[in-house]
Copies of this chain bind each other. A is one copy, B any other.
Amino acid sequence: MPNMVQLDAIDRAIVLELQKESRLSYAEIGARVGLSAAAVHERVKKLERKGVIEAYRIQVNPKAVGLQVTAFIAVRLQNDATCADVAPTFGDFPEVEECHSAAGDIDVLLKARTATPEDLERLLYRIKRVPGVSRTTSTVVLSTQFENRPLIPVEPE
């Protein structure tokens, strides 16, 4: 499969642990998976080189930093526009956290966060004016049950 990297059971366990808590010491991870700290270190560096681990980040509580509103915005494009055309412009809006090209009667799916409903309204207005955008359909999030759950690596057959 394209982009897929062969991971053994220990690699998968390391990836899972680091998704939950990336500041575990290599010694602690080693104790959990049955390796020395140096061996864990070597595997982690290899996972970084192979592109399995893309970045080390903090998870921020959106409400605590003033972003009270989350919305998913479905965008229909005009027939002569592609997602690749409009994505850079959507990327200029810092409120837009994700941008996907989609199949179905939607062409582009965005996830956005704003401080207030009024800010979301202004963002939608700006999105509608992006060249190539035909129309938008928004779904406002009322509450979030869970988000940012760890990905479970697939076992190779």
Residues of chain A touching chain B, judged by Cβ–Cβ distance below 8 Å, are 1-5, 7, 12, 15, 18-23, 50-68, 70, 72, 74, 83-84, 87, 90-91, 94-104, 106, 109, 113, 115, 138-156
Contact = CB atoms under 8 A, between A and B. Distances in A.
B57 A53 contact: no
B84 A139 contact: no
A145 B99 contact: yes
A90 B37 CA distance: 36
A3 B50 contact: no
Contacts of A15: 58, 60, 65
B64 A5 contact: yes
A139 to B, nearest CB: 5
Given A65-B15, A145-B84, A140 B97 contact: no
Contacts of A63: 1-4
> How many copies are assembled?
2
Contact of A154 (B51, B115, B150): B115
Contacts of A59: 53-57
Contacts of A146: 87, 91, 98-99
A84 B145 CA distance: 8
A154 B101 contact: no
Nearest to A68: B1
B62 A139 contact: no
Given A4-B66, A63-B2, A66-B1, A151 B113 contact: yes
